[in-house]
């Protein structure tokens, strides 16, 4: 796969995909496009690079002792260097490809921040370089966690594997 927006190369020996997302491509949408192209249904991926801005939430203490919740949406006020990012690719409750991704970044004011990134709100500034590690024998499907009531990936052995 090589176009004006995304580069991706499948390595037959390691069964990994490496490449880059170019300016203006959304981080999640670009990774999902690569996965669709190579028929990847579940995977782990790592990446770093730069974003025009980052949109994420962070864990915070809940109202009751021992409880937690997520913050309101946070959007960086400048471009950021994504120092480290890691995520899983699976299926959402809508049966479409979905990503669960956490990253650490530094902004133009040299402030380090990070958290749980949000879908469709992290456009590339210069480049994002990535490696996707397909997981062929495992199914990942979002389902509601019974304790927290949040949709999280549920892991299962894929039939036929």
| CA angle, residues 57, 128, 60, in degrees to nearest 5 | 10
Give the pLDDT score at 150.
Answer: 82
What pTM was estimated for this model as a whole? 0.92
Q: Which regions in the chain score pLDDT beneath 70?
A: 160-161
Four-point Cα dihedral 116, 114, 84, 128, nearest 10? 80
What's the pLDDT tens digit per position in 1-33? 778 899 999 999 999 999 999 999 999 999 999
CATH number, domain 6-157: 3.30.1330.80
Q: Using an 8 Å Cβ cutoff, are 131 and 119 in contact?
A: no
Interval 64-76: pLDDT, tens:
888 888 999 999 9
Q: What is the pLDDT of residue 161?
A: 52
| Confidence (pLDDT) at 2 | 73
Which residues are paired to 22 by β-bridges?
127
Cβ burial, residue 50 (10 Å; 0-12/13-18/19+): middle
- 3-state SS assignment for residue 109: coil
Indicate the length of the chain as a whole number: 161
């Amino acid at each position: 796969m090589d176009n004006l927006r995304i580069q991706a190369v499948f390595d037959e020996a390691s069964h990994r995909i490496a490449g880059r997302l170019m300016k203006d491509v959304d981080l999640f949408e670009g990774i999902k496009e690569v996965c669709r192209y190579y028929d990847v249904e579940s995977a782990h991926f790592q990446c770093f690079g730069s974003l025009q801005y980052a949109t994420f939430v962070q864990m915070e203490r809940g109202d009751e002792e021992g409880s937690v919740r997520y913050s309101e949406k946070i959007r960086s006020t400048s471009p950021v260097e994504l120092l480290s990012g890691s995520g899983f690719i699976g299926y959402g409750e809508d049966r479409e490809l979905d990503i669960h991704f956490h990253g650490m970044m530094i902004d133009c004011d040299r402030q380090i921040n990070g958290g749980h990134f949000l879908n469709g709100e992290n456009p590339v500034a210069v480049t994002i370089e990535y490696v996707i590690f397909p997981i062929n024998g495992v199914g990942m499907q979002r389902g509601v966690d019974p304790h927290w009531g949040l949709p999280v990936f549920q892991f299962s052995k894929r039939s036929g594997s």
